[in-house]
């Protein structure tokens, strides 16, 4: 995993490019195409002793596994990214980070920074599956989720997570009753009986974790 402890006094930074495209994610219009994975994002050395840097890095090729139609919002994420400074440290966002693992924290902070309209992100909670109890998943709650604007916002967040699958250590995204593995073929899910259980009111983002934080981590956009 690209997570490490560094105590070098010199600084080595790589300029990351902004996300190149956003993909709309209508549940009924899914196509799949293969893609070669890009190398993992580098961990940037810290200028200060003992800070642990978890880099968000550039947009990777994982989203090429998902060619969604239509693709009209392609400029939306790029426009949002241009308003952020490259290599900027990500502050804590709206997600409660207690119990989350480092890749999940990185995803939560990046989503908060990219989508300031999001005011509620769920984290650790009891569940029969391991994702939330083990700090591997967040639920990004979508305001007015049944409106056109809410659906578009959820589409953008799902697309953003998939485009950054390698950086976030992404395992999967679930949105609007559709399961999107980080590297694989998306598929509809069975009806579980409610908007919450069917993931209509939130985007579920699950990661491989990366271990629990030690308190010296710096999360880089």
Instruction: Say how far apart CA 32 and CA 118 lie, in whole Å.
Output: 29
Residue 62 lies in domain:
4-220
pLDDT at 38 over 90: no
Residue 126's CB: how many other CB atoms inside 10 A? 6
Quote the pLDDT of residue 2: 40
Instruction: Say how far apart CA 71 and CA 87 lie, in whole Å.
Output: 28
Quote the pLDDT of residue 67: 44
Structure tokens of 64? 């090429």
Quote the pLDDT of residue 72: 46
Q: Could you tell me which of 160, 155, 176, 69 has the C-alpha nearest to residue 106? A: 160
Q: State how many domains the chain has.
A: 1
Quote the pLDDT of residue 81: 61
Mean pLDDT of 78-107: 84
Decide: 107 and 168 in contact? Cβ < 8 Å. yes
Question: Does the pTM exceed 0.75?
Answer: no
Instruction: Say how far apart CA 213 and CA 107 lie, in whole Å.
Output: 14
DSSP state of 190: -
Structure tokens of 164? 């950054």
Structure tokens of 46? 């810290």
Decide: 211 and 169 in contact? Cβ < 8 Å. no
Residue 35 confidence class, pLDDT cut points 50, 70, 90: very low
- Nearest 5°: CA angle at 207, between 203 and 211? 140
Mean pLDDT of 172-200: 97
Q: Could you tell me which of 139, 142, 145 has the C-alpha nearest to residue 204? A: 139
How much is the mean pLDDT over the chain?
75
Find tokens 């119990």 and name the residue: 99
């Amino acid at each position: 995993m690209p997570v490490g402890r560094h105590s070098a006094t010199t600084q080595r930074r790589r300029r990351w490019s902004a996300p190149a495209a956003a993909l709309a994610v209508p549940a009924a219009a899914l196509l799949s195409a293969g893609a070669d994975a890009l190398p993992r994002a580098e961990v940037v050395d810290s200028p200060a002793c003992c800070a642990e840097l978890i880099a968000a890095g550039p947009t990777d090729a994982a989203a090429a596994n998902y060619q969604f139609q239509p693709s009209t919002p392609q400029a939306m994420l790029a426009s949002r990214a241009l308003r952020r400074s490259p290599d900027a440290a990500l502050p804590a966002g709206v997600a409660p980070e207690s119990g989350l693992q480092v890749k999940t924290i990185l995803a939560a902070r990046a989503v908060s920074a990219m989508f300031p309209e999001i005011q509620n992100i769920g984290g650790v909670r009891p569940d029969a599956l391991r994702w939330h109890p083990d700090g591997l998943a967040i639920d990004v709650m979508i305001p007015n989720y049944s409106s056109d604007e809410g659906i578009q916002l959820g589409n953008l967040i799902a697309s953003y997570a998939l485009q950054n699958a390698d950086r976030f250590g992404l395992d999967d995204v679930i949105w609007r009753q559709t399961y999107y593995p980080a590297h694989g073929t998306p598929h509809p899910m069975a009806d579980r009986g409610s908007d919450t259980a069917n993931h209509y009111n939130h985007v579920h983002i699950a990661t491989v974790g990366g271990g629990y934080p030690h308190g010296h981590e710096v999360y880089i956009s």
